[in-house]
Amino acid sequence: MTLDIDRWVGYLLDAVDRRAEVAAISSQIDGLSVEAAYDVQDALVAARVADGDRVVGAKLGVTSKAKQLQMGIDEPAYGWLLGSTQLPAGATIALDELIHPRCEPEIVFQMANDLEGPGVTARDVLDATANVCGGIEIIDSRYERFTFTLPDVIADNTSAARFVVGSDTVRAGDIDLRLVECVFEIDSATVASATGEALLGDPAECVALLANHLAARGRRIEAGWTVLAGALTDAFPLVAGTRAAAHYTDLGTVVIRAV
Ligand code: OOG
Ligand code: MG
């Protein structure tokens, strides 16, 4: 099957622009493959870059059991972080720019060196990383009811919408990321907690997986990029006034507020 890539890129970008959810692509065509979905994702990001945005990093999605159960998808995926979507720690999230956003806590890698697969290990990841810190990602699936298949969510750049990186950084290798604990609070009530081990056993394993997946498409993680390892816990809806705080051992606290 040949996929009309431009059609689906336009479909998803239009949903963002209109802040309106749309039917999943897989509900309209048969046999959307993971490979073809990454072709849509690449073309979507290229369209943003052609419009003046830039790639500042990459993200893993669905790397914890919590997220796999919440989304009904059991395989990790990746997407791209655009410069226009980064907000400073403590930022307010403007709900009128989004469809039905959710927030989730993330462990963040800031890369010192390029990292090219195949064969990248968690050790290689730590060696190529400058700093690690805590973060919060705002995801905003463009699909109705936040419901999709794995190829759908890949085409939609893994629901990426906004991200915030904490200001407390630690040198990679100085702490055991598997043991970092995150307590996630919404409006001062703890809603979830997890340790880094929730991310494929080790957050660095997630970044290794990304490098190895990218290699299959002839790409690599680049020095200077920010990489999100995937949410440690479920994602939670953001509504007007929501204050979300992710408290990390060793990595400080990251707060956002929705307005
Ligand atoms: C897909 C994006 C998942 C993560 O950290 O697991 C993701 C979604 O849940 O909409 O970013
Ligand atoms: Mg995420």
Is there an atom of ligand 1 within 6 Å of 117 CB? no
Over the Cα atoms of the chain, what is R_g?
17
Is there an atom of ligand 1 within 6 Å of 159 CB? yes
Q: Which atom of ligand 1 is nearest to the CA of 230?
A: 5
Q: Where are the alpha helices (DSSP H) in 28-178?
A: 34-50, 65-71, 122-128, 150-155
Ligand 1 centroid–CA 113 distance in Å is 26
User: Of 255, 259, 252, 208, which is closest to residue 230 (Cα–Cα)?
Assistant: 208
Q: Is the pTM of this model over 0.95?
A: yes
H/E run at residue 130: strand 129-139
Please name which ligand lies nearest the alpha carbon of 159: 1
SS3 string of 209-235? Answer: HHHHHHHHCCCCECCCCEEEEEECCCC
Ligand 1 centroid–CA 162 distance in Å is 12
- Report which protein residue has its CA nearest ligand 1's atom 8: 159
Q: Which atom of ligand 1 is nearest to the CA of 148?
A: 10
Q: What is the pLDDT of residues 127-157, one digit of tens each?
A: 999 999 999 999 999 999 999 999 999 999 9
pLDDT of residue 2: 84
H/E run at residue 12: helix 5-18
Residue written as tokens 């990248």?
Answer: 120
pLDDT of residue 20: 98
Mean per-residue pLDDT pooled into runs of 10, the chain (259 residues): 92 98 97 97 98 98 96 97 96 97 98 98 98 98 98 98 97 96 98 98 98 96 98 98 98 98
pLDDT of residue 23: 98
pLDDT of residue 17: 97
Is there an atom of ligand 1 within 6 Å of 139 CB? yes
Distance CA 58, CA 158 (A): 10
Q: Which atom of ligand 1 is nearest to the CA of 64?
A: 6
The answer to whether 258 and 162 have CB atoms below 8 angstroms apart is no
